[in-house]
Chain A
Amino acid sequence: MAEFLQHCLNALILGGTYALLGIGLTLIFGIMKVVNFTHGELYTFGAYMVFFFVMVLGVNFFVGIAAAMILGIVLGALIEFVLLRPLRGASIDTTMLVMIGAWIALQNLEQFTWSGIAKSIDHPFPVEPLVLGAVSVSWIRIFVFLFALTLIAGTYFLINRTKLGKAMRATFQDRDTAALMGVNINRICTATFALGSSLAAAAGALLGPVFIVMPTMGDGAALKAFAIVILGGLGSIIGATVGGFILALVEELGAGYISSGYRDAMGFGLIIIILVYKPTGLFALKERIG
């Protein structure tokens, strides 16, 4: 029983970051109709930026995370501006090919810059875990969970309560009508991509200190994000949030009770089940955003 509770707690903690990854990807797909293959690289980028600021420059840990998120916004906006803006209106396959090219280039740029050796990041939290009866959890993980929850809540607020969010929702529903009503589509797309990228960078920045940092860490993250988005339905923020927690739970229980080697394969099993029984995802609402 204690073991089961521990797995559930781990899943809850991990699920927050998974949800961050999924929300970023699902927003970009919903509003821009772009399958963002660079998402995993933004995740890696966030982790390396924290490494750079904290371990190389010696900046404060929390400042490092904030800096990684801001640079994530900048890099996301740059990718959108250079690669996606000229292709507005191109078919989804065309943008996919471009994003695959960008993915390969970015990943190898990271490998080139930081070399393939795995890096670890020091954090200011005590090593002694917090023990709650039969289960225990490390302080850094609690911080990661709370920070992720804050970001998710912030994103909800941004989408549902602000003018920018309203413009995003309008663009999601009907791009042409939104443009007629005076919404600047280009600006919305840049903002969406920058926001999604920043969330991915935040996920990387949060998990970097928990695990290790290496150039290929983004591949697994991207695959998980895709699985989460399929679970929740493309374009649904609620779906991505719930999907993130479900995936984390399935992975934890699967790794704990079935086989740890297949941990990363659990997401795919979920995808197959979802596709067979409910191809549109769990949260296929009419308005799949907000």
Chain B
Amino acid sequence: MSRWFTVAWVAFLFSIPIWMTDLYFLHILITTGIFTIAAISLNLLLGYAGQLSLGHVAFFGIGAYTSALVSLGFDLEISDSYTLVFDPQPVWLAFVSGIFVSGLFGWFIGKIAFKVRGAYFVIVTISFAEVVRLISLNWIDLTEGPMALNNIPPFTLGVPGLWEQTFYQKIPNYYLVLVITIIAYIIVRRLVLSRAGRAMIALRENEALASSVGIDVTRYLILATIVASAIAGAAGGLYTHYIRIVDPDIFLFIYTVTMVIMVVTGGKGSLAGPVVGGIIFGILPELLREVASPEVQWIIYGVFMIAIVFFLPKGIVPALTAWWADRFKSDGHGGKAVRDSR
């Protein structure tokens, strides 16, 4: 049943551009999708490996900047006499290198940050994101600093000479984001259901016990970070080639908070959670925009996050699943007994 539900969902999402003619709404869906990808990747760390990483936006931004720079071309002044010139590359190559570089940073930060846990880990991840933001702001030769990188080329796919499509319009971008969201979802799902995923869940539940049965804790934590940061980098690459401008504000802490709220609201440690949370918090700002200024919106989000932790600590998806299972069983024979025996 659950499989048919998934198929129906995906079919519905694919059908949206056919009947939805409002381009602005399509734009909202595209940005929602991009942030959902980031939330899916954060869920791997937060929900499955149990590490509250508050620097996730760094990987999103690194992916965005790398992808933008590789597609635009750049030069690096190594010394006064020697300058390394980097020619513009096709967008798909830029996108892939964005993913790669983000993953590389994930590995590096994982190596450093997983020397510590809990509060220390959180603080290290926040500081990392802040430092990356300061670098993007100050390394003007490379990133243009606050002047931003402009005229970033949009996505181009196809076989050169035969057929090519440049993604200027909303509809192809929508499908591109949708496909990448599905791929990200499948990667995380496969990882979580694999041996490595079980190891991550084990160490989330009890790290001492997990290491005592021979799970190489740090190795799996770093694996989770690499995959999560690579996917976040992909989201950043999509963002940069869709919006086509990128500035240091992409690293603002508020974006990490957005991702965390999406994951926590939807349900951390559930596959569908970040998707549901992503859709809610992608569309909610548009609904609130008419009635509330941005500050008031953020006050509402902050209070909402507190309320979720207090009243729905597992998040929406697990709560709904439990409710559904409960109801479903009590309809059948002896369902009540099953429920009472719990």
Asked if B306 and A83 make an inter-chain contact with CB atoms under 8 angstroms apart, the answer reads yes
> Chain A contacts of B73 at CB under 8 A?
none
Q: Beta-carbon contacts of A108-124 to B below 8 Å, as 1s and 0s?
A: 11011000000000000
B231 within 8 A of A: no
B130 partner residues in chain A, CB cutoff 8 A: 223, 264-265, 268
Contacts of B199 in A (CB 8 A): none
Could you tell me if A29 and B119 are in contact, using CB atoms closer than 8 angstroms? yes
List of B residues within 8 angstroms of A279 by Cβ: 115-116, 120
Contact A96 B138 (CB under 8 A): no
- A279 and B50 CA atoms in complex are apart in Å by 20
Write out the residue numbers on chain A whose beta carbons fall within 8 Å of the beta carbon of B306. Answer: 83, 98, 101-102, 105
- Other-chain contact of A103, B112, B131, B302 (Cβ < 8 Å): B302
B147 to chain A, nearest CB (A): 14
- Decide: B123 and A265 in contact? CB cutoff 8 A: no
Given known contacts A94-B309, A226-B123, is B260 in contact with A100 (CB within 8 Å)?
A: yes
Q: Are B299 and A109 in contact (CB under 8 A)?
A: yes
How far is it, in angstroms, between the C-alpha of A87 and the C-alpha of B116 when the chains are bound? Answer: 24
Q: Report if A275 contacts B (CB, 8 A).
A: yes
The residues in B between 193 and 251 inclusive whose CB is less than 8 angstroms from any CB of A are none
Cross-chain contact A97 with B127 (CB below 8 angstroms): no
Instruction: Give min CB distance, B156 to chain A, whole Å.
Output: 36
A268 in contact with B128 given A97-B264, A101-B303, A104-B305 (CB within 8 Å): yes
- The interface residues of chain A lying within 8 Å CB-to-CB of B293 are 112
Contact of B127 among A35, A271, A276 (CB under 8 A): A271
User: CA–CA, A104 to B126, complex, Å?
Assistant: 15
Q: Which of B131, B296, B298, B305 contacts A265 (CB 8 A)?
A: B131
B135 within 8 Å of A (CB atoms): yes
Chain B residue at smallest Cβ distance from A271: B127
Residues of B within 8 A of A227 (CB): 123, 127
CA distance A72 to B184 in the complex (A): 45
Assess whether B124 is interfacial by the CB under 8 Å rule.
Answer: yes
Give the distance to chain A from B237, nearest Cβ to Cβ, in Å. Answer: 25
CA distance A101 to B124 in the complex (A): 19
Contacts of B264 in A (CB 8 A): 97
CA distance A268 to B295 in the complex (A): 29
Q: Is there an interface contact between B298 and A98, defined as CB atoms closer than 8 Å?
A: no
Contact partners of B285 in chain A: CB under 8 A: none
Across the A-B interface, how many residue pairs have beta carbons closer than 8 Å? 115
Interface bin, chain A: 35 or more
Contact in complex: A108, B298 (CB < 8 Å): yes
CA distance A160 to B310 in the complex (A): 36
Q: Is B52 on the interface with A (CB-CB < 8 A)?
A: yes
Q: Which residue of B lies closest to A259 (CB)?
A: B138
A144 to B: closest C-beta gap in Å: 25
**CB proximity to B under 8 Å, residues A247-280:** 259, 261-262, 264-265, 267-268, 271-272, 275-276, 279
Contacts of B135 in A (CB 8 A): 262, 265
Nearest Cβ in chain A — how far from B136, in angstroms?
A: 11
Pairwise interchain contact B124-A275, C-beta atoms closer than 8 A: yes
Instruction: Give B166-188 interface residues, CB cut-off 8 Å to A.
Output: none
Interface contact B302-A108, CB-CB below 8 Å: yes
Q: Are A112 and B120 in contact (CB under 8 A)?
A: no
**In the complex, residue of chain A having the shortest beta-carbon distance to the beta carbon of B261:** A101
The answer to whether A92 and B118 have CB atoms under 8 Å apart is yes
**Bound form: Cα–Cα A183–B52 in Å:** 32
Which of B126, B257, B299, B304 is within 8 Å of A226, CB to CB?
A: B126
B313 contacts the other chain (CB 8 A): yes
Any chain B CB within 8 A of the CB of A86? yes
Can you name 21 A-B residue pairings with CB atoms under 8 Å? A92-B118, A94-B313, A100-B257, A100-B260, A104-B254, A104-B299, A105-B306, A106-B302, A108-B296, A111-B295, A226-B123, A229-B123, A230-B120, A261-B137, A262-B135, A265-B130, A267-B127, A268-B127, A271-B127, A275-B113, A276-B112
What is the interface of chain A, defined by CB distance below 8 A to chain B? Answer: 29, 35, 83, 86-87, 92-94, 96-98, 100-109, 111-112, 219, 223, 226-227, 229-230, 234, 259, 261-262, 264-265, 267-268, 271-272, 275-276, 279
Minimum-distance CB pairs A-B, first 7: A105-B302, A101-B305, A104-B302, A261-B138, A108-B298, A101-B306, A112-B295
| Known contacts A35-B122, A96-B52, A223-B127, then 10 further A-B pairs from the complex at CB < 8 Å, ordered by chain A residue | A87-B310, A98-B305, A101-B302, A101-B306, A102-B306, A104-B299, A108-B298, A108-B299, A230-B120, A262-B138
